Amino acid sequence: MWQAWTNGIIGIWLFIAAFLNFTATGNLWDDIIVGVVAAIAGFAMAKEKPWQGWLTGIVGIWLIIAAFIPNLVVGLGNEWNAIICGILLMIGGFGALGTSAQTHTEVHSH
Protein backbone atom coordinates (compact mmCIF):
# COMPACT_ATOMS: atom_id res chain seq x y z
CA MET A 1 0.00 0.00 0.00
CA TRP A 2 2.03 2.90 -1.35
CA GLN A 3 -0.20 5.54 0.25
CA ALA A 4 0.75 4.42 3.76
CA TRP A 5 4.48 4.69 3.15
CA THR A 6 4.16 7.93 1.19
CA ASN A 7 2.11 9.62 3.92
CA GLY A 8 4.45 8.33 6.63
CA ILE A 9 7.48 9.70 4.81
CA ILE A 10 5.76 13.06 4.21
CA GLY A 11 5.00 13.20 7.94
CA ILE A 12 8.67 12.64 8.76
CA TRP A 13 9.64 15.30 6.20
CA LEU A 14 7.26 17.84 7.77
CA PHE A 15 8.74 17.16 11.19
CA ILE A 16 12.28 17.70 9.85
CA ALA A 17 11.23 20.74 7.77
CA ALA A 18 9.92 22.42 10.92
CA PHE A 19 13.52 22.81 12.08
CA LEU A 20 14.94 24.03 8.78
CA ASN A 21 13.49 27.53 9.07
CA PHE A 22 12.86 29.25 12.40
CA THR A 23 11.10 32.31 10.97
CA ALA A 24 7.68 31.61 12.49
CA THR A 25 6.87 29.82 15.73
CA GLY A 26 3.42 28.96 14.39
CA ASN A 27 4.97 27.28 11.36
CA LEU A 28 7.38 25.34 13.58
CA TRP A 29 4.63 23.91 15.77
CA ASP A 30 2.23 23.37 12.87
CA ASP A 31 4.81 21.33 10.97
CA ILE A 32 5.83 19.35 14.07
CA ILE A 33 2.25 18.46 15.03
CA VAL A 34 1.07 17.75 11.49
CA GLY A 35 4.27 15.83 10.74
CA VAL A 36 3.89 13.54 13.76
CA VAL A 37 0.17 12.94 13.10
CA ALA A 38 0.76 12.25 9.38
CA ALA A 39 3.70 9.93 10.05
CA ILE A 40 1.85 7.87 12.67
CA ALA A 41 -1.40 7.70 10.71
CA GLY A 42 0.40 7.10 7.42
CA PHE A 43 2.48 4.19 8.65
CA ALA A 44 -0.52 2.80 10.55
CA MET A 45 -2.50 2.74 7.27
CA ALA A 46 -0.39 -0.23 6.28
CA LYS A 47 -2.71 -2.24 8.52
CA GLU A 48 -5.66 -1.16 6.32
CA LYS A 49 -7.56 0.88 8.88
CA PRO A 50 -9.74 3.49 7.14
CA TRP A 51 -9.61 6.12 9.91
CA GLN A 52 -5.93 6.75 9.17
CA GLY A 53 -6.77 7.54 5.55
CA TRP A 54 -9.40 10.04 6.66
CA LEU A 55 -7.01 11.54 9.21
CA THR A 56 -4.14 12.06 6.77
CA GLY A 57 -6.54 13.44 4.14
CA ILE A 58 -7.94 15.95 6.63
CA VAL A 59 -4.45 16.88 7.81
CA GLY A 60 -3.57 17.49 4.15
CA ILE A 61 -6.53 19.86 3.82
CA TRP A 62 -5.36 21.66 6.99
CA LEU A 63 -1.86 22.14 5.58
CA ILE A 64 -3.27 23.77 2.45
CA ILE A 65 -5.50 26.07 4.50
CA ALA A 66 -2.67 26.87 6.94
CA ALA A 67 -0.43 27.91 4.04
CA PHE A 68 -2.69 30.93 3.52
CA ILE A 69 -3.01 32.00 7.18
CA PRO A 70 -0.85 35.07 7.78
CA ASN A 71 1.75 34.70 10.55
CA LEU A 72 1.33 30.92 10.64
CA VAL A 73 3.36 30.06 7.55
CA VAL A 74 5.99 32.68 6.86
CA GLY A 75 8.00 32.63 3.67
CA LEU A 76 7.34 31.42 0.17
CA GLY A 77 9.31 28.20 0.71
CA ASN A 78 7.25 27.28 3.77
CA GLU A 79 4.04 28.13 1.95
CA TRP A 80 4.86 25.90 -1.02
CA ASN A 81 6.07 23.12 1.27
CA ALA A 82 2.73 23.17 3.10
CA ILE A 83 0.70 23.25 -0.13
CA ILE A 84 2.63 20.43 -1.83
CA CYS A 85 2.73 18.22 1.28
CA GLY A 86 -0.98 18.93 1.87
CA ILE A 87 -1.89 17.86 -1.66
CA LEU A 88 0.21 14.70 -1.40
CA LEU A 89 -1.29 13.81 1.98
CA MET A 90 -4.81 14.32 0.59
CA ILE A 91 -4.09 12.11 -2.42
CA GLY A 92 -2.47 9.42 -0.29
CA GLY A 93 -5.00 9.55 2.54
CA PHE A 94 -8.21 9.73 0.56
CA GLY A 95 -6.77 7.48 -2.16
CA ALA A 96 -6.12 4.78 0.44
CA LEU A 97 -9.80 4.79 1.34
CA GLY A 98 -10.76 3.56 -2.12
CA THR A 99 -8.04 0.91 -2.07
CA SER A 100 -9.03 -0.21 1.42
CA ALA A 101 -12.71 -0.47 0.47
CA GLN A 102 -11.91 -2.45 -2.68
CA THR A 103 -9.66 -4.85 -0.76
CA HIS A 104 -12.29 -5.28 1.94
CA THR A 105 -15.00 -5.98 -0.64
CA GLU A 106 -12.82 -8.41 -2.58
CA VAL A 107 -12.00 -10.38 0.58
CA HIS A 108 -15.67 -10.75 1.54
CA SER A 109 -16.90 -11.50 -1.97
CA HIS A 110 -14.88 -14.73 -2.28
Whichever domain contains 42, its CATH number is 1.20.1270
Number of domains in the chain: 1
Domain that holds residue 55: 2-109
The reported pTM is 0.69
Tens digits of per-residue pLDDT, 55-97? 888 888 888 888 888 777 667 777 888 888 888 888 888 887 7
Give percent of the chain above pLDDT 70. 75
Distant-in-sequence, close-in-space partners of 93: CB < 8 Å, separation ≥ 6? 3, 7, 41, 42, 45, 52, 53, 54, 55, 56, 57, 58, 59, 60
